Every structure is written in C-alpha cells, then in structure tokens.
Chains A and B, each alone.
Chain A
Amino acid sequence: MSATFSIYIFLLAEGTGVASPGGLISALYVFALAAFLGYQVISRVPPLLHTPLMSATNAISAISVVGSILTAGGKYSDVSRFLGFIAVVSAMINVVGGFMITDRMLKMFKDKIGGGAKDAKEGGR
C-alpha cells in the first residue's frame, strides 16, 4: 500500500514542474501533521463556541489572500491578474470580516451577570 503510494507520489513529482520530489514530500508532511494537529486542537473546542469556531477557521483559511496577491501583482497575463484581483477582494472580505465578526461574537460570551444559576459547569464538553 505505502509502496504503491510512494510510487504514485514519485510519478506525480517526476514531471516538469516547480515542485521537486523533496518539495512535494515536505508539503505532504506538513499536510499530514496539520491534519493531526487540527484534529487534536479542534476536538477540544466546546459546542458552545462552534459558531465562532466556524467563522474563525474561515478567517484563517482566507490566508489564500497570499496566493491571490501573488497572482494579482505577479508577472502574469491580464486575464490571470484580473482573476487574481477578484480573488484578493473575496479573500480579503473573509480576512477582515471573519476576524471582526468572530471578535464581535466572542465579546458577547459572558460567564455570568448578576444572580442566576450558581452551579456553573462552564459550558464545557
């Protein structure tokens, strides 16, 4: 299984292109480790904060603005740069909007106000 997989990876990387086999392998390492890390970190987020979690991850994945910037300003044809420009706009909507709305939501979550239930369980898992 792993042998066929590595052959496949080799074939993919073998063509003419930017990614060297080493580059591809390190990218896959990053992907796999980020997946594990993501699983660990995100399963600790309580259901209480699932909506902010969604808008937070959305804001973070708007890091694709970085790719859009390089396309919009790079040595590309006009068509590609125009597409890049639209991409910058939409990614940036998520960057600014995502972080601001997440903060607006998180600001609202309060432990307690005045009297009320005393046996707080902190909305944990």
Chain B
Amino acid sequence: MNFYVIEFSYLLASILFIFGLKSLSHPKTARQGMNMAAAGMLVAIVGTMLHHEIISYTWIIVGLLIGGLIGAAMSIWMPMTAMPQRTALSHAFGALAASLVGIAEYYQHVVHEQGTMSSFKMTAIGFEVLFGSLTVTGSLMAFAKLQEMMRGTPITYKGQNVVNVLLFATAAVIFIYLIYDPTRSTLFYVMVGLSFLFGILLVMPIGSADMPVVMSLMNSYAGLASAATGFAIDNKVLIIAGTLDGFSGFILSILMCKAMNRSVTNVLFGAFGSASTDAGTVVEGTMREISSEDVAVQLAYARQVVFVPGYGMATAQAQHAVRELAEALQHKGVNVKYAIHPVAGRMPGHMNVLLAEANVPYSQLYELEQINPEMQATDVAVVIGANDVVNPDARDNPKSPIAGMPIIEVDKAQNVVVLKRGKGKGFSGLENPLFFKSNTGMLYGDAKSSLSKLAQDVQQA
C-alpha cells in the first residue's frame, strides 16, 4: 500500500515540477507555477517519509531542519547583488548531496557488506560521483572568483590543458575499470579524489567574464548528477527533475556561447581574458572626457535614450541610480529603454534581475535583436560599466579576439556616453574603438554617484 502512495507522490511531484518550469515562460504566471513546484517538492518529501526502509527518523529530521534553516536564512538576508555567488554555492550544495549519496551507496554495498554491484548500478553511481564531485569543487572555485576571494583573471600555466585532459582521462579509465570490477574500493576513492581535483583545475583558467558559461555548465552537471542518482536508486522523480535541470543548464550554456560567438571548448580551454591578448586594433585618437552637466543636457533634450548596463553596474550597485535617472528623464518626456546583452554580468539574466530589483518594469528591457534596429533612432546611448558587449571591433575587425560576437550597436546611436571607473582597458584587455569615436563622451567616476548626479542635473536642465 505504502509503495503506491509513495510512487504516486513522486508522480504528482514530477507533474508539478514540469508545470512550474512551464510557467516560467512568462513573468505573470511564473510565481504561481513555482509555488506549485514547491508543493510538489513537499509532497515528494512527505511521501518518502513513509518508506518502509527508513528505520530511524532522528538524522532525517535534524538534517531537514538544519538545511531548511540555512536555506531560509540565505534566501532572506542575501542581497540581490550576490545572486551569482549564491547560485554558484547552490550548485555546489546540490552536487554535494548527489555525490555523497553515491559514495554512501558504494561504501555500504562494497566496503561495508563486502559485496558487489551490478554493472548498471556501478555505471550510475560512477556518473553520479564524477559529475557531482567535479561540480562541487568547480562551483566553489566559481564562488571564490565571484566573491573576489581570489582574482578573477584566468590562472594559467604551461601544459595546463594537457594536465587537465590526462587527469580526466585517468578518472574515465578508472571508471570503466570499476564497471568491470566494482569491488576495487581504493580505485573508487582515487576516482572521487581525481574528480574533485578536476573541478578545481577546470575552473581555474576561466576568467570572470566567462562565468555565465561556467555557471550554466555547473547547473547542467549538478542536474545530471541528480539524474544519475535516480538511476542508481531506481527513482523516477529524481531522473525527471535531474534531467530537466541538466537540460536547462545545457541550453543556457549554448545560448551563452552563441552570445559570445565561441564554442564551449574555447571557453573551457581558451583561458580567454588573460593579459596575453595582443591582437585588436591599435586605436588612434583620444578619448573625449565629458562633464556631467553636458551629459544631462544631452539626455534631457533627447527623444530616446538607451541604457546599456554591464557588470560595472552590478559592482557599483548602480541599478537604483539608473532607475532614478530614467524616471527623471521620463518626466521630461524622454523615451527610455534598456538594452540587455545575454552575457552582460556574471550569470544568465543577471542584469534583468538587478534592474527588476530596482523596480524597472520589464517592458522597458530589450534584448539584443530587439534594440539594435532602433539604435539609429536613439539620441543617446548610455553605457554603464559595459565594455566588450559594445565593442564595435567584434563586428568590424575579423582579427579581434572577440570577432563575431554579437554586440549592442551603440556606435550607431547619435551620441554615446560611456560611464567608466577609470581610463584602463576592460576585462579582456582589449582596446575599445567605441571610446575613441568623435560622438562618444567619457564620463569617469563611480557609476552610482555619476548617475545620481546626472539625475539631479537632468531635473534642473
């Protein structure tokens, strides 16, 4: 009897999860749908509690309580700007859970009971532990880079790719051998160790600007690890939820790579953004500095202004200041739009969330393909802490390291104002010809205070 109750609770949970994800196709339905998914999760957890294999509830209840409290605390007190870090951490937690369940299963059957395993179960546990472990350390590395506990530039050394490939190949060979003979527990632990190490080495050479891809990949691996857990313990809801997560991350990785015109391999092994990049045009001319008052006048008398936010807006926490300026402009009858590049920021959709936090209605947010045709009709484009995503070299110079990357074509706007912290180059170390154009004005300083000042000046203009 319990069997049917439990299985039915899993079936219900699976259906509710799918409804939840489907509801994310529109912001209006999203919240309600996610509540359904959360209800599905509750049903599945309650259902599992009825399982006849459970002999003691102490550890379960304690674990659920501790985890629940930590999760709730994190989500209540975490500032929105820390979203990329939180997401990286949550990938690590999810993968850790999957990985530990795999290790526990293996330990129980092979080490403790001195038994063996079917090749099928060993395959599932192997995938679970491989994906899980490398995602744990990989995500923690991503977390450290995003939290700026370590420098965000790629860390490279000679022969790095060879070392990584050899390491991965060794882990793979051990895995195949274990399928053949699951009783070799030492090899199993070596494999676990290697995949933990591989996660670190994999993310080490990847620069912060490529984090959107890394985050998506880790999202995918964490999901696949959960799906493999489902195969290992023969649980369908785990397979479904894990696969949905795995595919979601996979689709996001592809979208992010497309938005940079690069392959996943290039992102993982290209160490892009290291200081060694030398190509790119030698730009002649000077950058023209512009005063806040002049910008305010330009903006106040414009018909259409487009804001282009980048990671600089996030670091300066300038999203509220942007919205204040936008509102001041709208009072003057200016049409305000925001242009969001898919890889602006450190994770997919990063800019959208920050602007939503600052109460910018999403009807003002435009995607790359939507906004580019409107650029010529735009009087002023305001670039806020973005660089590569507006670099015209990507379009015009086939030799540029970022050649072919789709950009927001702010250079086609009548006037461009670039808000920048200092005169240095952007993350990728590339010159940006946009900054040297005659209709581009540079407004140096902290983006947040620059924008607040602009908002005041616009009101007086």
User: Residues of A with Cβ closer than 8 Å to B?
Assistant: 11-19, 23-24, 27, 30-31, 34-35, 37-39, 41-77, 79-81, 83-113, 115-117, 120-123, 125
Contact = CB atoms under 8 A, between A and B. Distances in A.
B247 interface: yes
B301 interface: no
Contacts of A75: 53, 55
Interface string B22-45: 101111101100110110010011
Contacts of A125: 367
B294 to A, nearest CB: 25
A89 B64 CA distance: 6
Given A58-B87, A64-B97, A75-B55, A48 B74 contact: no
Contacts of A69: 45, 48-49, 51, 54, 60, 64
A67 B356 contact: no
Contacts, number: 423
Interface string B205-240: 000000000011001001101110111111111111
Given A27-B230, A31-B239, A67-B101, A79 B30 contact: no
B422 interface: no
Contacts of A45: 21, 24-25
B230 A87 contact: no
B265 interface: no
Contacts of A50: 252, 347-349, 352
B57 interface: yes
- A-B residue pairs, 8 tightest by C-beta: A17-B118, A92-B67, A88-B63, A97-B71, A120-B363, A50-B349, A96-B71, A61-B245
Interface string B51-95: 101111101101110111011101110101001001100110110
Interface residues of B, number: 127
Contacts of A115: 330-331
Contact of A97 (B51, B70, B337): B70
B96 to A, nearest CB: 5
Given A54-B347, A58-B222, A117-B335, A68 B100 contact: yes
A76 B49 contact: no
12 contacts: A18-B118, A56-B37, A59-B37, A62-B97, A63-B226, A67-B97, A77-B107, A90-B100, A96-B67, A97-B75, A116-B336, A121-B370
Contacts of B242: 61, 63-64
Given A57-B248, A88-B67, A110-B359, 15 more contacts: A13-B120, A14-B119, A15-B118, A60-B241, A60-B244, A62-B94, A83-B101, A84-B100, A87-B100, A87-B101, A91-B93, A93-B70, A95-B68, A117-B361, A120-B361
B120 A60 contact: no
Contacts of A100: 71-72, 75-76
A93 B71 contact: yes
B433 interface: no
B148 interface: no
B120 A90 contact: no
Contact of B20 (A11, A56, A58): A56
Contacts of A105: 80, 83, 353, 356
Contacts of A68: 63, 97, 100-101
B244 A42 contact: yes
B18 to A, nearest CB: 7
Contact of A51 (B20, B100, B347): B347
Contact of A34 (B37, B98, B225, B244): B244
B104 interface: yes
B417 to A, nearest CB: 20
Contacts of A121: 363, 366, 370
A108 B353 contact: yes
A63 to B, nearest CB: 4
B167 to A, nearest CB: 24
B423 interface: no
Most buried by B among A14, A57, A83, A121: A57
A1 B270 CA distance: 34
Nearest to B244: A38
A63 B245 CA distance: 11
B21 to A, nearest CB: 5
Contact of A99 (B41, B49, B231, B240): B41
B78 A57 contact: no
A65 B361 CA distance: 36
A97 B104 contact: no
Contacts of B300: none
A87 B118 contact: no
A109 B362 contact: yes
B24 A96 contact: no
A56 B226 CA distance: 15
